[in-house]
Amino acid sequence: MSLHQAFVALDKSRHNTKGFDCGSKPMNTFLSRYATKHNKLGLSRTYVLTEIAQQEALPIAAYYTLASSTVNRMDIPAQQSLPTYPVPVVMLARLAVDKRFQGQGLGSKTLIYALRQSVSLCKAGLPAYALILDVLDENAMAFYQQFEMFQPFTKDPMRLFVPMKTLEKI
């Protein structure tokens, strides 16, 4: 099964959101039921990598979702020179790979793609001090630990943080 080269914005009329299965029901349900709705409401934006196929609705191999958020400076490790008001960040709200493609490097590719896109958004004018993400479970933590750039939040080890300045170098 070959994949397209680039991630594209989710389009329910062209992408088979219901066929996606990463092994996590909440992640599957988000893609099939909420991603388009949230996109329309301006809450988040989802991008997909699809298989090259003849079907009208292309199978999805991987997806990620970006949103805006804010954090309290006291929750970020060693960032004391920031103002006291909420600090804007990009949130990597979702990232998942279909079971058929797991263990082949696609999760890493998806993550790098999402991180680079966050940098591009900032360069285009979106103010964000850092990127944050909430880790789904211990399996997902093992995945993110491969990438040494992430630091845990001071009060929540399942929430990870990486400064935008660090991402500019990847």
Ligand X SMILES: CC(C)(COP(=O)(O)OP(=O)(O)OC[C@H]1O[C@@H](n2cnc3c(N)ncnc32)[C@H](O)[C@@H]1OP(=O)(O)O)[C@@H](O)C(=O)NCCC(=O)NCCS
User: First CA to last CA across the chain, in angstroms?
Assistant: 28
| Count of residues that bind ligand X according to CB under 6 A | 21
Q: Quick one: 60 or 78, whose CB is closer to ligand X?
A: 60
Q: Would you count residue 105 as binding ligand X (CB under 6 A)?
A: yes
Answer for the pair 159, 133: CB distance below 8 angstroms, yes or no. Answer: yes
Task: Name the β-bridge partners of 65.
Answer: 46, 94
Element (H, E) at 152: strand 151-152
Q: Are 114 and 170 in contact (CB under 8 A)?
A: no
Beta-bridge partners for 48? 8, 63
Contact between 23 and ligand X by CB under 6 A: the answer reads yes
Q: Are strands 130-134 and 151-152 parallel, antiparallel or unpaired?
A: unpaired
C-beta of 113: minimal distance to ligand X in Å? 12
Structure tokens at 129: 């001090």
Tokens in use for 47? 């991008």
Q: Pick one of 85, 103, 148, 169: the residue that binds ligand X (CB under 6 A).
A: 103
93 binds ligand X (CB under 6 A): no
Q: Which of 10, 136, 164, 167 binds ligand X (CB under 6 A)?
A: 136
Name the segment binding ligand X (CB under 6 A); options: 4-12, 23-31, 39-47, 67-75. 23-31
Listed ranges 9-17, 48-56, 78-86, 104-112: which one lies at the site for ligand X (CB under 6 A): 104-112
- 42 contacts 35 by C-beta, under 8 angstroms: no
Which range touches ligand X (CB under 6 A), out of 53-61, 73-81, 140-148, 161-169?
140-148
Interface pick for ligand X out of 135, 162, 164, 167 (rule CB under 6 A): 135
Q: Contact positions toward ligand X, by CB under 6 A? A: 22-24, 27, 95-97, 102-108, 135-136, 139-140, 142-143, 146
